[in-house]
Structure formats: structure tokens, C-alpha cells
Chain A
Amino acid sequence: MLRIRRFEEQCIQLAESKQFSGHYHVYIGQEATAVSVCNALGPEDFVFSTWRNHGHLLARGAAPDRMMAEIFGKATGYAGGKSGTLHMAVGELGVPATSALVGGNLPLATGAALACKRRGSGVSVCFHGDAALEEGAFYEAMILAAVWKVPALFVCENNSIPPAQRKRGQFTSSTLPAAQLADVPQSLQIRTEIVDGADADQLAESFERLVGEVRRGGGPRFVEVRCTRWPGSFPLWPELPDGPWQIAWAFDGKPDRADLALWLEQSDPLTLYVRKLIAAGAVTRSQLEAMDARAKEEMAGAARYAIDSPFPAPDQAYRHVWA
């Protein structure tokens, strides 16, 4: 979780200093979901992600330096600069293709689950946002997953925003006229569960169990993970309210911004988990600080790697159209 947080903060700082261009999305505030899902998976399993993929990839074991290089469009990135942040994928980690279209990865994940079922091993996990339910692709993928009874786990990270801001027309997503997101797949006989995205322990328990059920042939599952959007992800471009996350905030420190302070208290899976560990005596502040120093150093190294890496030669534009 901490590594993902530090990677994303590094990303924001690099974007703000114009080290790379292009729109991007960060995973801050949802870290516990990626970590708990990926902890429950094995090497033969598939993971399908979205434009908000950095956390999923890091949790799956991707190297931060090659990820950052890809975000920069550098030759040393996982796709040699062809995907950028939007479609970042790592085939060798079972992340074969990442779609940056809302709902685009749901049919892909369903098809990979079909392949898993046919070969008798593996499960297919599909991370998607709440807006995916507004696409026809969602409905069609759910029908296929249910009819074919494939080992697919749909992880809906609902990071929707308060209604007041939706009314102003700033974000058109999350405009689904259903009482609960889970009602939609449930109506197609897919078993569902709703989990608190700020509760790392509950997430770990749920996904360990649900991945097991799917793996044993129980058919597809749909999980709505309820996350409250991190204040830094409200603006059109991500920004760090009150700078990077501080360990002190898990103790007695407080950020200046009230919205951030409230979010840390109620909704941040990282802060809440750290507090839980401290309360249980599982970790000391100095151990935390050492861990954090390593994470920061790793991500600073990733940034240096990306900056120092060469851009691809122009003729690379013609490669990989055909396999």
C-alpha cells in the first residue's frame, strides 16, 4: 500500500514539473483493494485493469522503474513507450492487455476466464470502476460470465463522488439509476458482495474467500468495493493536497486542509491500516519510518530511471502492428 502511495505521489510531482505529458490517473485511496486482490492470486491467473492501473500493476509485482519509464513514453518501459499510462500491461505477470475504454476490459476478462475454464486452471480478475456499469459492455459481459459460468471475479472499485458535485455536471460517471450497483449483476444470477474499500483486513478476508470460490468452479462473482474519492483526485488533473502523505498523520499530526483531514480519518485505507497495526503493537513508528524511507527511495529511483532512459527511436512507431 505504502509503495503504491509513494509511486503515485512521485507521478503527480513529475507531472507537475512537466517531466512527462498526457493525462493520467492515480490510485491513491484505493491501495488496499489492489493489494488484497493480488495477494489472493497465483501466477497462472489473469488481471485486467483500466486507465487507473498503476496500483494494480504494482500489487501484481510490476517493477516501478519500468512502469515509470512507460509513463514517460521511454524505450525501457514495458511497452517500449507505446502504451503510456493508459494501457500499461505486463504480459509476463498475467496482465495481458489493459483497456482505457470504460467497460472495455469486461468482455476481455470474461473471455480469458473462458480460456481458464477450458484449460482447467486459473481465474480472471477484472478491475473496473463504477462507470463501467453505464456501458452496454458491462451487461453483455455479465450475461456471458453467468451463462458460461466462468471463473471471473469482477472487482468494481466504486470511487464515486458526492451527488452535489455530480449535479454540477463535472463528472458524468456514477449516474446509474440503481439502488445499489450490485443489484445489476445480481439480477443476472451473479453472486455479489459489498466491501468497505477503507478496511484492508476486511478486503483481504473477502478476496481470499471469493477468489477461492471462483477458483473452485463456483462461477463468477461481482464485488463492489466502496471507496471515497481522495481529495487529490477531484480536480481535472491530480494534485497533492498538503503534499505527500505523512506518517505523522497516522499519529497526532493533521493536514491543514479540512477535506483531506476528514478523508484520512474516515476513508484512507493506508492511514487506517497503519493505525490498526500500531494499536495492535505489530509495528513501531521507527519501523514504519524505515519502511517508508525504502519506499520513497525506490520510487525516487524509478523516477531517475525514467528520466535517464532514452526515448524510442522514431522507426519503432512501425513495429508491433503485426505479431
Chain B
Amino acid sequence: MKISFAEGVAKAIQESLAANPRVLLIGGGIMGLNTAARALLDPVLRDFASRIMVTPISELGLAGAGVGAALAGDRPLVDLSTGSFIFQAFAQVANEAANIHYMTGGQTSVPVTFYSLAGRRGGGAAQHSHATQALLGQVPGLQVLTPGGAEDAYGLLKWALLESRNPSVYLSHPLLFDETAEWIPHDPFLPVGKARIRREGRDVSLIASSIMVPRALAAAETLQRQHGISAEVVDLRTIIPLDRDTVLQSAAKTGRAVIADECHHSYGVAAEIAATLAEKGLASLKAVRRVTMPDVPIPFSAPLEAEITVTAEKIVAGALDAVRAA
């Protein structure tokens, strides 16, 4: 059966609440401003009303309370709403949650999930459009989950809520809600930490995560149809842990890597992958390109925003450039 990304999120929350009484929701916005997606979650919020905490707009307090409840034995999902708001909560996410297991010498673990609706959503402007995975990737002890498909939206969230022993930031994306994927109930889930090859190819590897996954797939389609170029699409699924092996294997096969990412260009996820390729994959590499957001804040005006957005067309251009270079 096909499910949408938003259905996957709602299903994961519903099944996790049903499966373990220790799961609770600290905040239940989850779907942001998308009314159709919110309707998917409404029955869950009704059925489990007693396990959904009333939340003032106190991101720091809510994140910390999630950590506190987790170290006392609960498994909370903390809704941190729009991705940029994680800055409000950052002290608790980066300096408490991520450090506690280490600082206590392994005495205490913190299985909390921070849900963050991150990324450029269109019209969000500078303070509501951050893609935070690269920033979060600099915090050892945090798992950074970046689903790019509906089956992973479901599987990664359910894993975080029911199985993970560490704190996770689950980066949802408002423009992924309608993306669909084939989903088979009770099908074994690809282990967390393994990248997913979404499309096999020979000439160039498109490395992507989150919203970049459907765009890289669209780019691969265009490359095949219009240019006769066979592109492989690697969906990272998680930024931490990062499946470097699959990236290296794919790049070794195709000889070219185009890394698409919604973070800013410098010091980003793409930069990290490019560095990995340089350190460990140089022998078999002909070209590496980064297709990322320029190092500017996100503007409101539509043409300005379009100028800097990482689109399928830009990924195609990056791939053509890589193929022509060598």
C-alpha cells in the first residue's frame, strides 16, 4: 500500500503511543500549518488526550522537560514546532540531552525525541526556514534523523519513540508531507544508520537526505530522459549516524558525486560528505559537486527565495557539470 509522509508520521505516533505507555507527547502540533495533515493527527490526539501535555510556548523548558522525563524512564516526543525554534531550545538539546550519557559515564540515558519541522517551507523568511542538520551534526551524542521518504518518516519516528536509547532530533519537512512511498505492513525496516539506494545508476551519484530526496529523484529522471545520464540516488536517511560506506561505495562505482543539501554551503552536510570522499575515496573519484543553499539568510520575497532554493534543476546542472568535468 502507498502511504504519504504525513500519514507515516501520524501512524508512527499513533502506534508508538499504543505500544508503550511510557511514550507521551509534549506538544502535539507536529503538522505545522498544514490543515490536511493536521486532520490526520486529530484522531490520535483525541484517543490519547491524557498523554499529550498542554504546552506553553516555552521551547527551552519543553525540551528540558522532555530530557528530564526521559532520564526518569519515560519516552517523550517533544514537539519543537518550526525548525528554527530549536535555537530557543538549543541549550537543553545540545548541552544537556546530548551530553548526559557521556557526562555520567554511562549511568544515565536519555531516550527523548525532539520533533522539528525544519527547512525552507516557502514564504517562511529568515526566522522560520532553517535546515539545522549540519548544526546538529556538530553535537556528539545526538542522533539526527532526516527522512526523505514516507516509509522512513514512519519507520524512523517509530524507532526513535520505541527503540532508541539515545536522544534524537527528528527533522520533518513541511514540503515532504504529500510525498508517498510503498509501505508494506510488518516489512523489516532497513536498519537505522544504513543509507537507502533509491535509484541505481552508473554515471553519477546524487547524495541526498530529507527534502533533497524527491528532488534528487526528479533530477535523476531528467538526467536519464534528457541527457542519457544514469544517476544513482543515495538517500542518507540519517545524518547521525552517517552511512559513509554506502556513499563511498556508490561514488566508487559511478566516479562522480553530487551532494544535494538544504543546509547552507559552508560547513554543511555536503561539506562533510565531500571531505569524506576526499579522505577515503579520492582514487576512484573524477568529480565532486555540492548543490546547497548559498550562505545568505532566507529571504521572504518569492523570486529571491527561488533564487537560492536547491531545486531538481540545480541538481541536474550540478550533475551535468560533474559529468562534463571528467
Interface residues, chain A, CB within 8 Å of chain B? 46, 48, 77-83, 87, 89-92, 96-99, 101, 104, 106-116, 118-119, 122, 124, 136-137, 139-141, 143-144, 147-148, 319-323
Contact = CB atoms under 8 A, between A and B. Distances in A.
12 contacts: A78-B107, A91-B107, A97-B103, A107-B67, A110-B64, A112-B68, A114-B69, A115-B74, A118-B74, A122-B72, A320-B101, A322-B101
Interface string B155-179: 0000000000110000000000000
Given A96-B72, A107-B67, A114-B68, A144 B61 contact: yes
Contacts of B63: 107
B53 interface: yes
B197 interface: no
Given A114-B53, A137-B60, A144-B58, A321 B101 contact: yes
A101 B97 CA distance: 13
Contact of B58 (A82, A87, A140, A320): A140
A322 B141 CA distance: 6
Contact of A82 (B71, B105, B111, B140): B105
B61 A143 contact: yes
Interface stretch (B88-96, B124-132, B210-218, B310-318): B88-96
A137 B108 contact: no
B239 to A, nearest CB: 15
B159 to A, nearest CB: 14
Q: In which size bucket is the chain B interface?
A: 35 or more
B103 A89 contact: yes
Interface in B7-51: 24
A119 B63 CA distance: 20
Contacts of A144: 56, 58, 61-62, 65
Interface string B77-114: 00000000000000110011001111111111111000
Contacts of A79: 103-107
B71 A87 contact: no
A82 B101 CA distance: 10
A46 B104 contact: no
A115 B69 contact: yes
Given A97-B108, A111-B66, A148-B53, A141 B101 contact: no
Contacts of A136: 60
A250 to B, nearest CB: 38
B233 to A, nearest CB: 28
A77 B69 CA distance: 26
Interface of B: 24, 53-54, 56, 58, 60-74, 76, 91-92, 95-96, 99-111, 140-141, 165-166
Given A97-B96, A140-B60, A144-B62, A323 B109 contact: yes
A98 B95 CA distance: 12
A108 B103 contact: no
B68 A115 contact: yes
B68 A110 contact: yes
Nearest to B143: A322
B141 A104 contact: no
A103 to B, nearest CB: 9
A44 to B, nearest CB: 10
Nearest to B70: A111
A108 B96 contact: yes
B109 A111 contact: no
Contact of B95 (A104, A116, A124): A104
B100 A97 contact: yes
Nearest to B62: A144
A110 B92 CA distance: 13
A96 B56 contact: no
Contacts of B165: 322-323
A110 B103 contact: no
B144 to A, nearest CB: 13
Given A89-B108, A115-B74, A118-B24, A108 B68 contact: yes
Contacts of A113: 68
Nearest to A70: B105
Contacts of A108: 64-65, 67-68, 71, 92, 96
A114 B111 CA distance: 15
B68 A87 contact: no
Contact of B68 (A81, A107, A319, A322): A107
Contacts of B56: 140, 143-144, 147
